[in-house]
């Protein structure tokens, strides 16, 4: 079902229209990146006047920031004991299927990072939703460096997984990859 169909098949109201605009913006930012998307296209996808985007979000930058705010925060990575963090995270990104929403957010970031306007929102979202919380969870000396290292490793593996579907490895090799990745991630959080 398209966003337009979902909106027009229900009684139009502010909540539904706003949600439709967010969904349409997310779809567009995933496919095209920040600079290639226009507010008119987003409004058209929903079947509403472009002025409603300004009414609900203020403008394209604010709409983009709102889309980023809907991305998963990664808080589930911080559940459980620190001692098996590497194992949990490596299993999540190598063995367990990635959620579309996680991958969509990564695609939005990658496709939009070359835009100076989008980059500021990406940085702010990253600090508030990932780096800040993981630094706090890690605590101790160099928490900011350790958080960045973990994020960079996770992002790299996730990008590889998207591009090569299961990392281009068979089941046994993927298990070995996960085991090594778990050790690397665990060493990254240690002081």
Q: What is the band of 184 on the pLDDT scale with cuts at 50, 70, 90?
A: very high
For residues 81 and 126, membership in a common domain is answered with yes
Q: End of a domain among 25, 44, 69?
A: 69
Averaged confidence pLDDT in the chain: 87
81 shares a domain with 57: no
Residues 119 and 153 both lie in one domain: yes
Output the pLDDT for position 12.
63
Question: What band does 11 get if pLDDT is binned at 50, 70 and 90?
Answer: low
* Shared-domain flag, residues 139 and 180: yes
Based on the domain organization, do 48 and 87 belong to the same domain?
no
| Domain stop point among 42, 69, 96 | 69
Residue 35: CATH number of its domain: 1.10.10.60
125 and 40: one domain?
A: no
- In which band, very low, low, confident or very high, does the pLDDT at 78 lie, cut at 50, 70 and 90? confident
Q: Is the pLDDT of residue 3 over 70?
A: no
The reply to whether 25 and 80 lie within a common domain is no
Over the chain, what HEC string results?
A: CCHHHHHHCCCCCHHHHHHHHHHHHHHHHHHHCCCCCCHHHHHHHHCCCCHHHHHHHCCHHHHHHHHHHCCCCCHHHHCCCHHHHHHHHHHHHHHCCCCHHHHHHHHHHHHHCCCHHHHHHHHHHHHHHHHHHHHHHHCCCCHHHHHHHHHHHHHHHHHHHHHHCHHHCCHHHHHHHHHHHHHHHHHHHCC
| Rounded distance between C-alpha atoms, residue 131 and residue 145, angstroms | 10
pLDDT in tens, 123-159: 999 888 888 888 888 889 999 999 999 988 988 998 8
58-77, pLDDT tens digit by residue? 999 999 999 999 988 777 77
pLDDT band at 190 (very low <50, low <70, confident <90, very high): confident
Verify that 64 and 79 share a domain, yes or no.
no
**Do 87 and 50 share a domain, yes or no?**
no
pLDDT at 100: 64
Residue 84 has pLDDT above 70, yes or no: yes
Whether residue 87 is found in the same domain as residue 175: yes
Considering the domain architecture, whether residues 167 and 140 belong to the same structural domain is answered as yes
154 and 97 within one domain: yes
C-beta separation of 70 from 26 below 8 A: yes
Amino acid 37: pLDDT: 96
Could you tell me the pLDDT band of residue 9, with boundaries at 50, 70 and 90?
Answer: very low
State mean pLDDT over 162-177.
Answer: 88
Looking at the structure of the chain, the number of domains it has is 2
Q: Which residues contact 98 (CB under 8 A, 6 or more apart)?
A: 158, 161, 162
Pick the last residue of a domain from 69, 96, 122. 69
Q: What is the pTM of this model?
A: 0.79
Expressed as residue numbers, the domain containing 117 is 75-189
Mean pLDDT in residue range 180-188: 95
Q: Provide, rounded to the nearest whole percent, the portion of the chain with pLDDT above 70.
A: 91
């Amino acid at each position: 079902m398209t966003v337009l169909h979902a909106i027009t098949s229900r009684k139009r109201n502010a909540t539904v229209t706003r949600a439709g605009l967010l969904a349409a913006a997310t779809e567009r930012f995933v496919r095209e990146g920040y600079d290639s998307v226009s507010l008119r296209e987003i409004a058209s996808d929903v079947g509403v006047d472009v002025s409603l985007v300004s009414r609900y979000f203020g403008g394209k930058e604010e709409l983009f920031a709102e889309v980023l705010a809907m991305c998963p925060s990664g808080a589930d990575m911080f559940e459980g004991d620190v001692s098996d963090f590497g194992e949990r995270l490596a299993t999540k990104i190598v063995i367990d299927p990635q959620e579309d929403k996680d991958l969509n957010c990564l695609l939005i970031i990658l496709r939009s990072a070359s835009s100076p306007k989008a980059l500021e929102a990406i940085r702010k979202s990253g600090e508030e939703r990932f780096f800040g919380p993981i630094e706090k969870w890690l605590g101790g000396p160099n928490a900011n460096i350790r958080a960045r290292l973990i994020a960079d490793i996770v992002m790299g593996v996730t990008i590889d997984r998207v591009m090569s579907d299961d990392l281009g490895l068979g089941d046994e090799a993927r298990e070995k990859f996960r085991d090594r990745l778990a050790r690397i991630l665990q060493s990254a959080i240690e002081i």
